[in-house]
């Protein structure tokens, strides 16, 4: 029995030892393990140098070999993994160079090579992890708890357990657990971490709220519209993850030629060795050192890392600001755009009307008028009804009491209001529908007012109450026109100016809306060109025309692209036809996340020129990185060959420093994109351009 117990105990101890060994190996080969190993190797090399200066050559040589061994722990593993996949890459080149240097009696140079190579690799990985952390910061936004109503009680559950249709409560300071629709309460949501928009978004009953946003003010109750696994934030995370895995054309070309290039470097080094040893008659040691130096300085470390570091840094910076690039190609195309087409409804404008003012023909009390209109629209979900009810709520006006409300499809609503015991008909809608309740003396005036509003591209709704000859409350009847507008999005007023400053023109609007409305928006924003009353095929034709114009303007050079910016739903054909598709204000839009190359999560149009500037900075960074990498390789290779031929060889240590220094310089240059300046939100007067309701004058000048 004791023997069996001893065996079981020994087995457990053995299992723990193996687990401990695996943990130690994992730590050694982790990024931080690699970093500390390189630091230790560097300290040993420094100690060897001090021993050499103190003429303790034996100790110096031992320290050099130990340093070399530490470097080989990481270098040989990386080279073996590459060879196991039948690839010859940079890891193989560096290990070959270090081992050959040690074999011919230069362990110090081999140790220096591996020290800097392992150190550079660790720092590159840390830089990559930093861009990853910028993206994964979105993961921290995921809520960890939810308050749900079940069987009459509020219970704390995991967000993943929520089901569509369940009622949740979001208290002040809490994160919204999943996408939902507000059913009770009014508050403001801080969604800056997702959209980059600094100003909280006001929400009311019927508004959609998104996972990860923070409730700033009062408690909200909402019904779950999407499971937590399908929420907007989860889709954003998936999109960014996919983007990081995509490679732009330059990087794909470098990846494709990296192995042939590595084999070519090995072949070149062999040729240099033979020429120096056999043809030029140099010593074996000198020929080998020249060949090793060429192998090291010609290795494409900086060249391979030049594009992905810049691309990933740009993707990370954009994600943190609410600009989602679907890979490096999207960045490259955005940097090259020369013209842009905007959809109007839902893109340049909010896509839903807001009440701007009331023009009374004969209605002395504007509050009473709005109360009647809100009562008529009380049960309607039409966008115009929503605008009227929202305006009444913001003004603190309660709906009037009506005896009944009837709806006439396509025309309007009618009801009965009791005033001083007398039932009087009230109507709201088109002029034709409201005309029976409109006093005869006001009909022409109301009609002219309505026509003037429509010619200005605005929406006009007529409301009227029939007259009464009752002795207690006599009047000839009342009528007014409610003016609604589809307000432009924040930042739209400076959009054209900023894009023109970036050389992007024309800035053109393509819309299916009527010409009067399109003209009003185009004039208001200073657009270069606009087309109205378009069908989807017309938009496609317009995009094709602009692409042809860009090719003609290029005069044989690479043409600049045409971008289409829409809401990602009804603009899908045009987005697909363009060189680049951008969906804006689309945190909750499945279609936008699927159809566009770039998704701007914020409603702020100021994010568009900011994204163009970021893409162009990323392109400049890639060009600079490639120039640095190619320049160092060419310069050091030429210097090595010429110097050795003239009996003034470039020391291997200098070649190593130049090679690894160039790699670190490229990484540092790319990381500058992470601190690219933030886009500025539109001023408050732009964001809330439609303010309080005006009660206009009774005369005709009110419509001017």
Burial-class residue 293 by CB neighbours within 10 Å (0-12, 13-18, 19+): buried
On whether the CB atoms of residues 449 and 456 are closer than 8 A, the answer is no
The vertex-117 CA angle with 116 and 119, nearest 5°, equals 60
> How many CB atoms lie under 10 A from the CB of residue 520?
17
Q: Which residues pair with 418 in a beta bridge?
A: 423
| Annotation marks residue 343 as catalytic | yes
What residues does 154 pair with on adjacent strands? 149
Residue among 296, 232, 260, 373 nearest 91 (CA): 296
Give the 3-state secondary structure of residue 155.
strand
Is omega for the bond preceding 506 within 30 degrees of 0, making it cis? yes
Q: Which two tokens stand for residue 675?
A: 């601190």
- Cβ pair 272, 278 in contact under 8 A: no
Cα dihedral 610, 615, 618, 624 sign: negative
Residues 542, 377 contacting (CB under 8 angstroms): no
In contact, 542 and 580? CB cutoff 8 Å:
no
CA distance 507 to 555: 21
Paired tokens of 444: 């022409």
Cα 161–167–173 angle (5° rounding)?
85
State the DSSP code for 488. B
Mode of pairing for the β-strands spanning 580-584 and 561-566:
parallel
CA dist., res. 341 & res. 31, Å (int): 46
Dihedral through CA 307, CA 313, CA 316, CA 320, nearest 10?
-140
Return d(Cα 311, Cα 611) in angstroms, integer: 14
DSSP string covering 500-555, please?
A: HHTT---EEEE-SS-HHHHHHHHHHHT-SEEE-S--HHHHHHHHHHHHHHHHHHHT
Question: DSSP 3-state assignment of 36?
Answer: helix
User: Which one from 179, 190, 343, 579 is the annotated catalytic residue?
Assistant: 343
Catalytic positions are 343
């Amino acid at each position: 029995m004791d023997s069996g117990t001893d065996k079981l105990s020994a087995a457990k101890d053995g299992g723990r030892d193996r687990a401990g060994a695996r943990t130690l190996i994992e730590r050694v080969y982790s990024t931080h393990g690699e970093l500390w190993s390189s630091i230790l190797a560097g300290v040993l090399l420094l100690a060897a140098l001090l021993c050499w200066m103190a003429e303790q050559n034996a100790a110096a040589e031992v320290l050099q070999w130990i340093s070399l061994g530490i470097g080989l722990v990481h270098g040989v593993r990386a080279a073996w993994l590459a060879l196991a996949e039948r690839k010859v890459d940079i890891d193989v080149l560096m290990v070959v160079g270090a081992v050959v240097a040690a074999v011919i009696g230069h362990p110090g140079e081999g140790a220096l090579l591996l020290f800097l190579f392992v150190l550079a690799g660790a720092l590159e990985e840390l830089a990559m992890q930093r861009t990853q952390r910028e993206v994964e910061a979105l993961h921290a936004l995921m809520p960890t708890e939810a308050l749900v109503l079940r069987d009459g009680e509020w219970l704390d559950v995991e967000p993943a357990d929520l089901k569509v249709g369940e009622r949740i409560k979001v208290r002040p300071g809490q994160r919204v657990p999943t996408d939902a629709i507000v059913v009770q309460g009014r508050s403001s949501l801080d969604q800056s971490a997702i959209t980059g928009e600094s100003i909280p978004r006001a929400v009311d009953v019927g508004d959609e709220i998104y996972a990860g946003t923070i409730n700033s003010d009062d408690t909200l109750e909402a019904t779950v519209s999407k499971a937590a696994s399908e929420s907007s934030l989860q889709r954003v995370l998936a999109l960014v993850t996919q983007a990081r895995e995509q490679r732009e054309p330059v990087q794909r070309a470098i990846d494709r030629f990296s192995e042939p290039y590595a084999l070519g470097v090995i072949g070149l080094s062999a040729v240099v060795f033979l020429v120096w040893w056999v043809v030029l008659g140099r010593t074996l040691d000198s020929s080998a050192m020249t060949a090793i130096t060429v192998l090291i300085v010609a290795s494409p470390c900086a060249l391979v890392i030049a594009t992905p570091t810049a691309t990933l840094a740009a993707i990370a910076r954009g994600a943190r600001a609410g600009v989602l690039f679907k890979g490096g190609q999207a960045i490259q195309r955005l940097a090259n755009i020369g013209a842009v087409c905007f959809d109007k409804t839902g893109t340049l404008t909010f896509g839903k009307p807001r009440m701007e003012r009331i023009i009374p023909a004969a209605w002395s009390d504007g509050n009473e008028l709005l109360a009647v209109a809100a009562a008529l629209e009380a049960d309607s979900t039409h966008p115009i009804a929503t605008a009227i009810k929202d305006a009444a709520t913001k003004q603190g006006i309660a709906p009037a009491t009506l005896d009944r409300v009837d709806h006439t499809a396509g025309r309007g609503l009618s009801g009965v209001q009791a005033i001083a015991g007398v039932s009087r008909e009230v109507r709201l809608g088109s002029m034709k529908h409201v005309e029976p309740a409109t006093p005869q003396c006001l009909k022409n005036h109301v009609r002219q007012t309505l026509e003037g509003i429509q010619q200005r591209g605005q929406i006009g709704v007529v409301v009227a109450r029939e007259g009464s000859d009752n002795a207690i409350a006599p009047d000839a009847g009342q009528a007014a026109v409610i003016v609604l507008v589809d307000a432009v999005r924040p930042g739209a007023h400076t959009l054209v100016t900023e894009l023109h400053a970036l050389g992007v023109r024309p800035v053109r609007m393509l819309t299916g809306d009527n010409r009067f409305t399109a003209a009003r928006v185009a004039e208001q924003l200073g657009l270069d060109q606009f087309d109205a009353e378009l069908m989807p095929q017309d938009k496609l034709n317009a995009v094709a025309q602009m692409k042809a114009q860009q090719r003609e303007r290029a005069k044989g050079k690479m043409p600049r692209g045409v971008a289409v910016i829409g809401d990602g739903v009804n603009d899908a054909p045009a987005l697909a036809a363009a060189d680049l598709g951008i969906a804006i204000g689309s945190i909750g839009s499945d279609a936008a996340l699927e159809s566009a190359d770039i998704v701007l999560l914020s409603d702020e149009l100021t994010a568009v020129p900011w994204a163009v500037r970021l893409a162009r900075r990323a392109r400049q960074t890639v060009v600079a990185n490639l120039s640095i990498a190619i320049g160092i390789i060419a310069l050091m290779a030429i210097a090595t060959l010429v110097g050795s031929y003239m009996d003034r060889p470039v020391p291997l240590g200098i070649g190593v420093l130049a090679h690894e220094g160039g790699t670190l310089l490229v990484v540092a240059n790319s990381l500058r994109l992470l601190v690219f300046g933030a886009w500025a939100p539109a001023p408050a007067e732009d964001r809330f351009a439609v303010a309080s309701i005006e009660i206009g004058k009774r005369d005709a000048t009110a419509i001017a």
